[in-house]
Amino acid sequence: STAFFGMYRNWGPGADAVHGVPWARELDYFTARPFLGKSFVNGFHWLTPDV
């Protein structure tokens, strides 16, 4: 098993549906931090500056 489904500050329509599945993990800030930056998704080319 090399992948996981993690959520961080998930909200809005559909968020409750994911909270009930056994394979989803709620991440704390320190665990989610490496995935929060624009560089993780190469976002400097397609995300607006205010994101």
Q: Render pLDDT for 4-38 as a digit per residue (tens, 0 to 9).
A: 788 888 888 877 766 677 877 888 999 888 877 76
Please enumerate in sequence order all residues whose Cβ is within 8 A of that of 19, keeping only pairs 6 or more positions apart, or say none: 7, 10, 26
Q: What is the pLDDT of residue 38?
A: 66
Q: CA 34, CA 17: separation in Å to the nearest integer?
A: 25
Q: What is the pLDDT of residue 28?
A: 92
* Tokens read off for 36: 């929060």
Tell me the domain boundaries of the chain: 5-41
Burial class (CB within 10 angstroms; exposed 0-12, middle 13-18, buried 19+) of 7 = middle
Model's pTM, two decimal places?
0.55
More confident of the two residues 48 and 23: 23
Residue 39 has pLDDT above 60, yes or no: yes
E-strand spans in 1-51? 5-7, 24-26
